[in-house]
Structure 1
Amino acid sequence: MRQPPSAISSSSVPTQPHRAGGRRRWFDLHSWIGLKLCLFMGFICLTGTLAVFAQEIDWLLHAEMRVTPGEQRASWGQMVDAVQRAHPDWSLQGLAAPHASRFAAKAQVRTNDGRLRFVWVDPYTGKVTGDTHWFNAHRFLRNTHRHLMLPVKYGVPLVAALSIPLLLSLVSSLFIYKRWWRGFFSWPRGDRPRRLWGDIHRLLGVWSLWFVALIAVTGGWYLVESLGGKATPPPKISLPGDGKGEKAAPADPVAIDRAVAELAKRWPELSVAGVQPTAAGQGILIDGQAQAWLVRDRANVAGFDLRDGRLLELQDGREMSVHQRIAEMADPLHFGSFGGWQVRLLWLLFGAALTALSFTGVYLYGLRVADTLRSARKRGRHEST
């Protein structure tokens, strides 16, 4: 039996005001988040974007980090020995591989008065090029982005909580922007400022959807970790001479090279990224990247007794639990450090777009308020006449 037209219009077809009302609520939420948090969000996005290339910034600032590529490479033992000879009274905590071909290898040391410094070693000649303060541009940007220089237990959850409004902004934008998938190639119209900046905002938003989702999800994971949801780390490898009461002594460079060579035989897929000799020089940890994808260097590690060259333990990142793998994936995905400079450049560009979204959003809000005030004044003049 056919329904009368009145029944069809009242029950089957949603009214236009109802649709508009729902879209308006999403718009109000999107605007409120942008207005209240734009400066905070933009600052965090800006520092995170710069942090992607923080080591390159330090490379420009510090001549000690700059080297000329050569045909031969110094061994790990030679570089450790160079640091120990240059600063025999300082305690070597670890030596990291060069960031790129024109970068020096980085040794983290602790001075006699307890200060942290970096000692730089030319990976081609095996000679120390100098030392710099531990608190550099890289550390400034990372600490500012991660916890605003506040105590970690307060700063990290405060910054990570931005993942919630960021995710809400993403979801609300999909409801506000009808048929958003058509906007990938919609060139901004420049007939008036509000339309121009609105089109730029939408264009940046559409292209950045995947990146916004990625940053929101990884930021949400940092929030979970800061509230007690951290993954249990793998058991620490026990090394000889690792006790606090052990007398400090330099590590034998020949023994280090022997351990690295032995590890290459047992685990040829591992690309060594760093070595950490114990304070007493009797043991060493060697870490790097192997078959496990999207993990930090510390996920793949081997411990050696430098006294006899014996492999004590080997930990493969592929053997981690799901919870541990999620924890390991967060940093590489958040900063794009899982790839070369091409990946990090992509992260830099989309980080800049996310920063621009924060500031253009509030600028659009200001333009909208200004248009409303102008319209109200015009109506007032017409009514008075």
Structure 2
Amino acid sequence: MGAAAPVRGRPVSTTALRRWRALHTWSSLWCTALLLILCATGLPLIFADEIEALQADGPPRTARAAGEPLADIDGMVAAARARHPGEAVRFVFIDDDEAAVKVVMAPADVPDRSRDHEAVFDARSAALLADEPPAGRQPMTFMAAARRLHTDLFAGQRGQWVLAATGLAFLMSLASGVALYGPFTRGLGFGTVRRRSPRTRWLDLHNLVGICVLAWMTLIGATGILNAISLPLSAWWRAGEMSVLLGGTRGRPVEAAPASADAAYRAVGRALPDRNVTSIIFPSASFSNPRHYLIWSNGNSPLTSRLFTAALVDARSGELAAVAQMPAYLRLAQLSRPLHFGDFGGMPLKLVWAALDTATIAVLASGLYLWAARRRAARTRLSRAA
């Protein structure tokens, strides 16, 4: 988008150069506005844990120690149901970082999660810590709004497809920018910023910062695409491989009185002793598991903690029915999230990600300026010629 005249002594253009410049200009124009929104919302999301901890009421909760028993899940589910009679329990999330268990409920078993709300319990004592009002009555927090805007533009799956297309346009913009970088900087030392005009100075700065953060922007663009299509990929997997494991139970009535969630939790713990159960999805028609608990677990190392395994527990007997082998494309999608947000290496890595995000904002903003300056110069030449 910011390409201008080549360095003096080079041909004005070739067919290939014109094509690369057109691709760079139009792919950049397609994605820049949305990318500025994504970069702006991505900055607070890098520090989401720290910001949410500051906003949390009461003293910070400590992590549950290894081997420390979990409080009775069934008791917490019963307490949540008593507080919200007539609602469906959808999930139980087990957060070991804060020793908390979140029971997520909704008025009905439907795919739309916009009306979900949660009751939070202490993972050690089962004491109620917080209880959100039913959806529609609780205000949306700043972080929740930033997350929705960043992940689907408040447009659900349509927004995710738009973001995936934006990521593809971004990668095309980067590839065409690299193709233009050599011809337009030939004869200049690396880091040279010419001062002959504001537009030339901004062009050199645009090229310099862009080439310095190219690898990071490519990583963010690629992982952003994977994040955007992760839900459709999961739906594809559930419709294919998972349906085989479900044994033809899809479409059948939901188990009205499922077995103990505690029993399902323990069954997976026995089968996968080296993994931590992170969530229990209750039998549901909207998630295509009407006769099973769907239980997700992760590993203990920095890498395996980002890789999740699904297990099915029979909702009548409480016995383990199957452990799903996750396909490579879902493993790749799982790994894309920590790489995208830089939340796997502590505060030092978060600060690096924030600095690179800020540099990307500078590249995008300078590209818009160069495009506008070029159009303004072209209009000036036309008016003079007239």
TM range (shorter): 0.5 to 0.7
Cα deviations across residues 97-129 of structure 1 (Å, max 9, x unaligned)?
Answer: 32744x744332224798410222233543221
Change (3 A) 1:276 1:309: same
1:130 aligned residue: 130
In the TM superposition, residue 329 of structure 1 has moved relative to its aligned partner by 4.6
Alignment equivalent of 1:81, drawn from 75, 82, 87: 75
**What amino acid maps onto 1:354 in structure 2?**
T
Matches within 5 A, 1:346-357: 346-357=352-363
Alignment equivalent of 2:92, drawn from 92, 95, 105: 95
- Mapped to 2, the partners of 1:53 and 1:213 lie a distance apart of 21
Change (3 A) 1:72 1:143: closer
Conserved 8 A contact 1:121-1:128: yes
Alignment equivalent of 2:60, drawn from 61, 64, 67: 67
- Mapped to 2, the partners of 1:328 and 1:85 lie a distance apart of 33
Cα deviations across residues 300-352 of structure 1 (Å, max 9, x unaligned)?
Answer: 122335776532222243xx3x4554555554544456666655554444333
2:121 aligned residue: 121
Where 1:161 maps in the other structure, the secondary structure is helix
1:109 aligned residue: 105
Change (3 A) 1:329 1:252: closer
**What amino acid maps onto 1:46 in structure 2?**
A
Change (3 A) 1:327 1:69: closer
- Mapped to 2, the partners of 1:184 and 1:60 lie a distance apart of 47
- Mapped to 2, the partners of 1:327 and 1:185 lie a distance apart of 36
Query: What do you get for the CA RMSD once the two structures are aligned?
Result: 4.9
Alignment equivalent of 1:304, drawn from 298, 313, 318: 313
In the TM superposition, residue 287 of structure 1 has moved relative to its aligned partner by 1.6
Cα deviations across residues 51-90 of structure 1 (Å, max 9, x unaligned)?
Answer: 44445544444427x6332776864443552343244234
- Mapped to 2, the partners of 1:23 and 1:229 lie a distance apart of 41
**What amino acid maps onto 1:361 in structure 2?**
G
- Mapped to 1, the partners of 2:196 and 2:94 lie a distance apart of 53
Change (3 A) 1:60 1:193: farther
- Mapped to 1, the partners of 2:233 and 2:265 lie a distance apart of 40
Conserved 8 A contact 1:231-1:327: no
Q: Which runs of 5+ in 2 are unaligned?
A: 1-8, 285-289
Moved more, 122-131 or 174-183: 174-183
Where 1:69 maps in the other structure, the secondary structure is coil
1:11 aligned residue: none
Moved more, 269-278 or 216-225: 216-225
2:24 aligned residue: 30
Change (3 A) 1:113 1:17: closer
2:270 aligned residue: 262
Conserved 8 A contact 2:220-2:340: yes
Where 1:169 maps in the other structure, the secondary structure is helix
Alignment equivalent of 2:209, drawn from 204, 226, 230: 204
**What amino acid maps onto 1:156 in structure 2?**
Q
Change (3 A) 1:328 1:307: same
The two structures have a TM-score, normalised by structure 1, of: 0.67
Moved more, 16-25 or 162-171: 16-25
